Amino acid sequence: MQHKVIDTEDVVIRFAGDSGDGMQLTGSLFADMSAIYGNALSTFPDFPAEIRAPHGTVSGVSGYQVHIGSSDVNTPGDFCDMLVAMNPAALKANAKWCKRHAMILVDADAFDQAGMKKAGFVTDDPFVELGVEDRTIITAPITTMTKESLKDSGMDMKSILKCKNMFTLGIACYIFNRPLEAIYQYLEKKFSKKHPEMIAPNKKVLNDGYYYSANVQAIPNTYTIEPVKAARKGTYRNITGNQAVAWGLLAAAEKSGRPLFCGSYPITPATAILEELAIHKNLGAKTFQAEDEISAICTSIGAAFAGDLAVTTTSGPGLSLKSEALGLAVMTELPLVIVDVQRGGPSTGLPTKTEQTDLNQALYGRNGECPIPVMTAHSPANCFYAAYMACKFALEHMTPVILLSEGFLGNGSEPWLIPDLNEYPDIVPPLVSGELEPGQKFQPFERDPQTLVPRWALPGMKGWEHRKGGLEKNHQGVLSNDPLNHATMVAERAEKVARIAEDVPLLHVQGEQSGKLLVVGWGGTYGHIASAFHDLRDAGYKVSYTHFDFINPLPKNTREIFSSFEKVLVCELNCGQFADYLRSKFPEFCFEKFNKVQGQPFLVSELTEAIKQYL
């Protein structure tokens, strides 16, 4: 067989196996290694809610898609160039994601009768049955080879079989010309303390996988994906959205001088933020794993009253439980950041899948007139900036702020140019200082005339004693049932939030600044919509695109931008919540919707098709 090394711009690889096969680790190692190599990348872990779903079944398949490239990579890719399927179920669940020319690598050992039956195949040829027999199929006896590789290791069979994913990774490294050093380093770091005896066997299996591929001649082509040439200079690292949120919170705490308190209750897919912060007690972060979601937000409100930068992290069902306390934070005008990593709903819904269906809940889900700033992040790395800005708005405007992340952002990762924090804006909370004049009393709801922000006096400060609570009060902080006072306070709380718009970055339009169609997105769909936009531009279409990171308040130039277009197409992963919100704010414009509610991100291809309908 003639072997070719092909230079390519980008490839998409999907690793799939049983939920216990270690596919998440395999995929993330491949991604990390590619990041260190200098590629642009985007990842998409797609796994079931069950920790160990029934072995060998389609419902138990866990996948991890990596898109690597030598120039801009905005999405994890719609379809893959290579599918790794560790068993028949993984093939069955993922064959539909293979491109026409894709390569499919399977563990031949897993394709016995029992495995095929469990996966629900009815014929002897799974590839024909799935209609993918014309792809490049590599059947490698991965289980057998792993056993062979470790037969002299003295390890028990269970431990040996756990190393299968390293053999697979070795094959992938060969096919895509990846250096193995980064994986060596990972293995050494992971096992050096508790299981140093595991380092050598894992390295051996990895190497054997690599050289097996080189020797068997079953692999027609290998690929090189050059490092990104035009990358901005600086220090990079790979980061997931959840990790970036946690670090952004830590950065805001450092910048503002307020200690970080995070009261949270574990919930998929937000838990990793709490876990990450729990590691960083070294930076003074206090994490409190509460007994429930309500305690999580209420302890945070208590911490805010006492003067901390208080944060609670959750997902949709948890946000529902926090609703009443959100009202308390609005009423007491305390700074608080609520991070909602959205997942498929309603109710328990699709815990591990991504959606943008909590927007209405974030905007409206409370009793009374209860406005809360709502903002979002548009990529995994952007979660750092978004979390930082959420803290800045909360602390400087004395208000709870909801940051809407998404499962797709939280679990996804991308390379990140580490920012210079000196270039980040200062965070200056409106703390009182000194002592009051004798006889004077602190008025907790007296407002700054420009921003309408009240001042923050912390328990422990002499002479500033005051009381806050859920009951309506006047500016002096005294309980009041006076009808006009209530009307005034409702209006002032709303206006305080509206005036945050002064600090919200202006909206920016890509493409023509006026014309027939403006495509609009918000949050984690940025990469997909931007890719669709560029594809359409490359194909000669005249189209414009703008993306909202700030939802409430909206950027000040929103109306001006909308007025330059005949139609606005709002693309979002729900049934049209943002479109409806925009309609309510700007009834004079024509809004169209493109929606998807499948627990999955957009495909670039479906976006380009949808947008073309309006061109």
Partner 1 sequence: MPVLTAKDFKNDQEVRWCPGCGDHAVLAAIQRTMPKVSEALNYEKERYVVVSGIGCSSRLPYYMDTYGFHSIHGRATAISTGIKVANPRLTVWQACGDGDALAIGGNHFIHAIRRNIDINVILFNNQIYGLTKGQYSPTSKLGAITKTSPYGTIEQPFNPGSLVLGSKGTFFARSLDVDLALNEEIMTAAALHDGTSVVEMLTNCVIFNDGAHKNLSDPAVRADRTIVLRHGQKMLFGKEKNKGLVLFNMGLKAVTIGEDGFTIDDILTHDAHTDNMGIHMMLAEMKGPGLPVALGVIRDVKDRTYDQRMTEQVNEVSEKSKIHTVYDLLHSGSTWEVK
User: Contacts with partner 1 in 209-248 (CB under 8 A)?
Assistant: 228, 231-238, 247
Coil, strand, or helix at residue 505?
coil
Nearer CB in complex with partner 1: 89/228: 228
Q: Which of 23, 110, 325, 339 binds partner 1 (CB under 8 A)?
A: 325
User: Could you write out the three-class secondary structure of 558-607?
Assistant: HHHHHCCEEEEEEEECCCCHHHHHHHHHCCCCCEEEEECCCCCCCCHHHH
Q: How far is the CB of 184 from partner 1 (least distance, A)?
A: 12
Helix (H, G, I), strand (E, B) or coil at 113: helix
Give the residue, chosen from 113, 462, 481, 538, that forms a contact with partner 1 under the rule CB under 8 A.
462
The stretch among 122-130, 250-258, 358-366, 538-546 that binds partner 1 (CB under 8 A) is 250-258
Does position 515 interact with partner 1 (CB under 8 A)? The reply is no
Q: How many CB atoms lie within 10 A of CB 542?
A: 12
CA separation, residue 192 to residues 29, 184, 185, 279, 554 (Å): 17, 11, 10, 19, 50
251 sits near partner 1 (criterion: CB under 8 A): yes
State yes or no: residue 463 binds partner 1 (CB under 8 A).
yes
In degrees, rounded to 5, the angle at the alpha carbon of residue 142 between the alpha carbons of residues 138 and 145 is 125
CB 548 to partner 1: min, Å: 27
Q: How many CB atoms lie within 10 A of CB 10?
A: 18
Q: How far is the CB of 524 from partner 1 (least distance, A)?
A: 22
- Give the whole-angstrom CA distance, residue 391 versus residue 253: 8
Element (H, E) at 340: strand 336-342
284 near partner 1 (CB under 8 A): yes
Q: Is 479 in the site for partner 1 (CB under 8 A)?
A: yes
What the block records as the tokens of 579 is: 């479109």
Q: Which stretch binds partner 1 (CB under 8 A): 47-55, 112-120, 295-303, 511-519?
A: 295-303
49, 137, 294, 431: which one contacts partner 1 (CB under 8 A)? 294
Q: Which is nearer to partner 1, 418 or 491 (CB)?
A: 418
**Candidate residues 128, 421, 487, 506; the one interacting with partner 1 per rule CB under 8 A:** 421
465 binds partner 1 (CB under 8 A): yes
| CA distances in angstroms from 160 to 190, 305, 314, 468, listed in the order given | 17, 54, 38, 61
CB of 439 to partner 1, least distance (A): 12
Whether 371 contacts 493, CB under 8 Å: yes
Comparison of 219 and 303: residue with beta carbon closer to partner 1: 303
Q: How far apart are CB 323 and partner 1 at their closest, in Å?
A: 11
The nearer residue to partner 1, 284 or 425, going by C-beta atoms, is 284
298 binds partner 1 (CB under 8 A): yes
306 binds partner 1 (CB under 8 A): yes
- Select the residue interacting with partner 1 from 310, 339, 530, 611 (CB under 8 A): 310
**Region of residue 164 (left: phi > 0; alpha: psi -120 to 50; beta: else):** alpha
Tokens, residue 570:
């709002």
Of the listed pieces 55-63, 98-106, 413-421, 523-531, which binds partner 1 according to CB under 8 A?
Answer: 413-421
Which residue number, 240 or 354, has a Cβ lying nearer to partner 1? 240
Residue (of 89, 23, 83) closest to 56 by Cα position: 89
Structure tokens at 601: 């991100």
- Pick between residue 39 and residue 399 the one whose CB is nearest to partner 1: 39
**Comparison of 97 and 265: residue with beta carbon closer to partner 1:** 265
Q: How far is the CB of 303 from partner 1 (least distance, A)?
A: 4
Binding to partner 1 in span 341-370, by CB under 8 A: none
Classify residue 192 as exposed, middle or buried by CB count within 10 Å of its CB (0-12, 13-18, 19+): exposed
Residue 395 or 509: the one with the smaller Cβ distance to partner 1 is 395
Query: What SS3 string covers 3-49?
Result: CEEEECCEEEEEEEEECCCCHHHHHHHHHHHHHHHCCEEEEEEECCC
Binding residues among 141-180 for partner 1 as defined by CB under 8 A: none
Phi-psi group of 337: left, alpha or beta (phi > 0 → left; psi -120 to 50 → alpha; rest → beta): beta
Piece in contact with partner 1 (CB under 8 A), picked from 121-129, 258-266, 348-356, 552-560? 258-266
CB of 233 to partner 1, least distance (A): 5
Tell me the site size for partner 1, rule CB under 8 A.
71
Comparison of 301 and 402: residue with beta carbon closer to partner 1:
301
List binders of partner 1 among 15-54 (CB under 8 A). Answer: 32, 35-36, 38
Closest C-alpha to 608, from 540, 515, 507, 523: 540
Is 496 a binder of partner 1 (CB under 8 A)?
no
CB closer to partner 1, 369 vs 512:
369
DSSP letter for 167, please: H
Kindly tell me which of 290 and 338 has the beta carbon lying closer to partner 1.
290
Shortest spacing between CB 471 and partner 1, in angstroms: 6
How far does Cα 94 stand from its chain's mean position? 22
Q: Which long-range contacts (CB under 8 A, 24 or more apart) does 440-448 make?
A: 441/466, 441/476, 442/466, 442/477, 443/475, 443/476, 443/477, 444/333, 444/468, 444/473, 444/476, 444/477, 445/333, 445/473, 445/474, 445/475, 445/476, 445/477, 445/489, 446/475, 446/476, 447/475, 447/492, 447/496
- Closest CB to partner 1 among 479 and 539? 479
Q: Considering only 4-12, 145-153, 255-263, 394-402, which stretch makes contact with partner 1 by CB under 8 A?
A: 255-263
Select from 453-461, 483-491, 534-542, 548-556 the region that touches partner 1 (CB under 8 A). Answer: 453-461
Answer for which of 291, 423, 538, 588 binds partner 1 (CB under 8 A) is: 291
Report if residue 300 touches partner 1, rule: CB under 8 A. yes
* Minimum CB–partner distance for residue 252 and partner 1 (Å): 9
Give the CA distances from residue 407 to residues 44, 219, 240, 340, 412, in Å, rounded to whole numbers and listed in that order.
Answer: 10, 35, 11, 9, 8
CB 102 within 8 A of CB 70: no
3-class DSSP state for residue 157? helix
Query: Do the strands 374-376 and 336-342 form a parallel or antiparallel pair, or are they unpaired?
Result: unpaired
